[in-house]
């Protein structure tokens, strides 16, 4: 058999010919794994760590369903090999609930429930992780394609209007078409005023 020298060590990954021994830090806990080199972070989480809240929608970085946070940044976990995630701090939807306050739903999770920001729920974990990442980026002032003054960037996340949120969340597809609820939920969680779009998309509005 050819390949890496048996037992070769690279940044705490012990590489064998076809597999590696590694430790992933997921939702605050170290998880020791022996994985085929080809296993993506997505499949490591779903198939090997039973963290099935992370979803596989396309396996090609085209839908965003697999979005997790790596060191606080949103990442398509299908585009990262598990061996490359050693030593990073990985947060999946299963670890989101405790992020803001112990034992409590994250404000974004509450807002998605309140605004019915999902239907089938399959894209939802990725949407929520992506929204956390997007608001973190906004807090740093990072501009988006629709930011008027690219050089100046944006102010606080609360300043993001619906147009900004739609643009920043367009890497996460939702085939059910829950986008109005998703945008309303993120605006609320960001502390935005909810002006413009209907603040409570879930209510739909009946005529009685």
Partner 1 sequence: MTTLQRTVGADVTRVEGHQKVTGTALYAYEYPVPDALYAWAVQSTVPRGRVRAVHAGAALALPGVVAVLDSRNVFRLRPAGDPELAVLQSADVAYRGQIVAAVVADSYETAGQAAAAVRVEYDVDDHDAELTDGDPRIFVPDTVNGGYPGQTETGDVEAALAAAPVVLDATYTTPPEHTSAMEPHATIAVWDEDSLTLYNGDQGPWMTAATLAELFGLPEGAVRVVADHTGGGFGSKAVPRPPTVLAALAARAVGRPVKVAATRQQMFTMVTYRTPTLQRVRLGAERDGRLTAVWHDALQQSSTLAPYCEQTATPTRVMYAARHRRTTHRLAQLDVPTPSWMRAPGEAPGMFALESAMDELAVALGMDPIELRVVNEPSVDPESGHPFSSRNLVACLREGAARFGWAGRDPAPGRRREGRWLVGTGVAASVFPAITWPATATARAEPDGTFTVRIAAADIGTGARTALTQVAADELGVEIDRVTLDIGRSAYGQAPFAGGSMGTSSWGWAVAKACRALAKRLGESAGAVPPGGLEELADTAEDVAARRDFSRHAYGAQFARVRVDAVTGQVRVDRLLGMFAAGRIINPRTAGSQLRGGMCMGLSMALHEGLEVDPRFGDFANHDLATYHIAANADVRDVQAYWLEEDDDELNPMGSKGVGELGIVGTAAAIANAVYHATGVRVRDLPITVERVRAGLPGH
Question: Which residues bind to partner 1, rule: CB under 8 A?
Answer: 18, 36, 38-39, 43, 46-47, 50-60, 62-63, 65, 92-94, 96-97, 105, 109, 112-114, 116, 118-125, 128, 162, 165-167, 169-183, 197-198, 201-208
Locate tokens 């619906």: which residue?
162
In the bound state with partner 1, the residue whose beta carbon lies nearer, of 90 and 174, is 174
CA–CA gap between residue 165 and residue 40 (Å, rounded): 29
In the bound state with partner 1, the residue whose beta carbon lies nearer, of 57 and 133, is 57
DSSP 7: T
In the bound state with partner 1, the residue whose beta carbon lies nearer, of 13 and 106, is 106
**Least Cβ distance, residue 74 to partner 1 (angstroms):** 14
**Least Cβ distance, residue 11 to partner 1 (angstroms):** 22
Question: How many residues does this entry show for the chain?
Answer: 208
- Both tokens of 38, joined, read 């080809």
**Least Cβ distance, residue 151 to partner 1 (angstroms):** 22
In 10 A of CB 151, how many CB atoms?
Answer: 6
67-70 and 29-36 as β-strands: parallel, antiparallel, unpaired?
unpaired
DSSP 84: G
**Least Cβ distance, residue 88 to partner 1 (angstroms):** 19
In the bound state with partner 1, the residue whose beta carbon lies nearer, of 74 and 166, is 166
- Both tokens of 172, joined, read 């996460």
In the bound state with partner 1, the residue whose beta carbon lies nearer, of 13 and 82, is 82
In 10 A of CB 102, how many CB atoms?
Answer: 7
CA–CA gap between residue 23 and residue 208 (Å, rounded): 58
**Least Cβ distance, residue 67 to partner 1 (angstroms):** 12
């Amino acid at each position: 058999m050819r390949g890496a020298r048996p037992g070769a060590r690279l940044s705490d990954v012990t590489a064998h010919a076809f597999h590696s021994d590694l430790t992933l830090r997921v939702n605050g806990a170290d998880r020791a794994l022996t994985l085929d080199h080809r296993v993506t972070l997505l499949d490591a989480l779903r198939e090997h760590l039973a963290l099935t809240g992370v979803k596989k929608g396309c396996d090609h970085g085209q839908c965003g369903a697999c979005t997790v946070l790596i060191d606080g940044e949103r990442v398509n976990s299908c585009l990262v090999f598990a061996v490359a995630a050693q030593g990073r701090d990985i947060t999946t939807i299963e670890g989101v609930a405790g992020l803001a306050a112990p034992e409590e739903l994250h404000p974004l999770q509450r807002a998605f429930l309140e605004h019915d920001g999902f239907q089938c729920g399959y894209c939802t974990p990725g949407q929520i992780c992506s929204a956390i990442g997007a608001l973190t980026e906004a807090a740093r002032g990072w501009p988006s394609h629709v930011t008027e003054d690219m050089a100046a960037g944006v102010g606080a996340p609360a300043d993001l209007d619906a147009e900004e949120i739609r643009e920043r969340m367009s890497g996460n597809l939702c085939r059910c078409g829950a986008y109005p609820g998703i945008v309303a939920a993120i605006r609320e969680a960001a502390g935005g005023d909810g002006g413009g779009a209907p603040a409570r998309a879930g209510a739909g509005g009946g005529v009685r």
